[in-house]
A and B are shown apart, each in its own frame.
Chain A
Amino acid sequence: MKPSASHHLERLAAAALAASIGLALVAAIIRLPKPAIELSARVAAHLAESGVRHPVTAVLLNFRGYDTLLEVAVLLLAVLGVLALRASASAPAARPPASVSPVLAALLHLVIPLMVLAAGYLLWAGGYRAGGAFQAGAVLGGAGVLLCLAGAIPPLRSPGGWSIAALLLGFGVFLAVAAAPVAGGARLLEYPRIWAGALILLIESGLTLSIAAILTTLFAGASDGPDAAVRRGNSDPPAGARKG
């Protein structure tokens, strides 16, 4: 199909719009005023009270812990959405397990233990250098996706008890630690000074597991398994499909 003249005109208009917004942003960034509050100086001044020695972890889990708590809730909402769409879709018929390339299987034996090790290191490193729950959870989630691709984790229909526990663990631990000080008359997320480091490590451990479980579930919940593409290739389009 040959694109019409109006099509070209639309593309030109979109390009002009994007370019002008880009140029306005460039102008804004070049002439950016100094911030009214030097946040990095404030973080540095209070770092000793946070319980950790790395400023990014201190911001994430202590100074702006409320943001992080709600962001974990957003992750749970995304999983809930994917699972809800999954549950309402008709379950495909059972099929024999997919054949997995021997290269992938051998690679997994090598790589998965290393990924678990790296995730543990990243989690611990978050206390004093770059690292933390989100990086560790991402590495562990990557391991989960690899296991999905190899068929070791089946495509998800509806999660069982353990999966639900793993999904909720991080948010639950975070919420409990955040809310516990309220009972003692303190404010939300006001950790006791001596326990701050241990509590942050506890929250981060839970978050690592849950973020890994969430990322793996998002992948397993949205995919039909490794042989889906092959099956889809020689099956008919869904009922009611229209030619575009």
Chain B
Amino acid sequence: MIGPSLSYALAGVALFALGLYGLSVHPHLLRKVLAFNVTGSGVFLVLVSLSQRDPGTPPDPVPQALVLTGIVVAVSATAFALALLRRLYALTGKTGLDDEPAP
């Protein structure tokens, strides 16, 4: 794999690692949800860039279709996560998990 596809894939990996770091260091659940979305964006970027591995060849439509539906599913799952988070806050006043120090 060469050229622009590779740089996009590497940028996707960087996003994934960045999201992973955010997910593990931030106790606030909203930040965790955001960090998880950053990881997801990294995965999508890697998948899309892998769909055209050699410049000049037609892109593979299968990963593109997967990412297309994946983005909409990720948005919906994020909305559900945010609803859960708000419910947790309304019930307990907490914005983090029990086994982590309070933000």
Q: Which residues of A contact B (CB under 8 A)?
A: 10-11, 14-15, 17-19, 21-22, 25-26, 29-30, 32, 39-40, 43-44, 55-56, 58-60, 64, 67-68, 71, 74-75, 78-79, 81-82, 85-86, 88-89, 132, 134-135, 137-138, 211, 214-215, 218-219, 221-222, 237-238, 240-242, 244
Q: Which residues of B contact A22 (CB under 8 A)?
A: 13-14, 16-17, 20
B55–chain A nearest beta-carbon distance, Å = 14
Verify B25–A11 contact, CB threshold 8 A. yes
If over half of B's interface residues share one DSSP class (helix, strand or loop), that class is named, otherwise mixed; here it is helix
Q: Which residues of A contact B94 (CB under 8 A)?
A: 242, 244
Q: Which residues of B contact A29 (CB under 8 A)?
A: 1, 6, 9-10, 13, 46, 50
Alpha-carbon gap, A64 to B60, bound state (A):
14
Q: Which residues of B contact A (CB under 8 A)?
A: 1, 6, 9-10, 13-14, 16-18, 20-21, 24-25, 46, 50, 53, 57-62, 64-66, 68-69, 71-73, 75-77, 79-80, 82-84, 86-87, 89-96, 102-103
Verify B62–A59 contact, CB threshold 8 A. yes
Alpha-carbon gap, A81 to B25, bound state (A):
28
B21–chain A nearest beta-carbon distance, Å = 4
Alpha-carbon gap, A60 to B86, bound state (A):
34
A65–chain B nearest beta-carbon distance, Å = 10
Alpha-carbon gap, A231 to B10, bound state (A):
44
Q: Nearest 9 A-B pairs (CB), nearest first?
A: A241-B93, A22-B17, A55-B61, A78-B76, A218-B79, A18-B21, A244-B102, A40-B60, A59-B65
Verify A18–B20 contact, CB threshold 8 A. yes
A11–chain B nearest beta-carbon distance, Å = 5
Alpha-carbon gap, A221 to B87, bound state (A):
12
Q: Which residues of A contact B46 (CB under 8 A)?
A: 25, 29
> Known: A14-B25, A78-B80. Is A26-B62 also a contact (CB below 8 A)?
no
Verify B58–A134 contact, CB threshold 8 A. no
From B90, which residue of chain A is reached at the shortest CB distance? A238
Alpha-carbon gap, A238 to B87, bound state (A):
11
From B94, which residue of chain A is reached at the shortest CB distance? A242
Alpha-carbon gap, A89 to B50, bound state (A):
44
Verify B79–A82 contact, CB threshold 8 A. yes
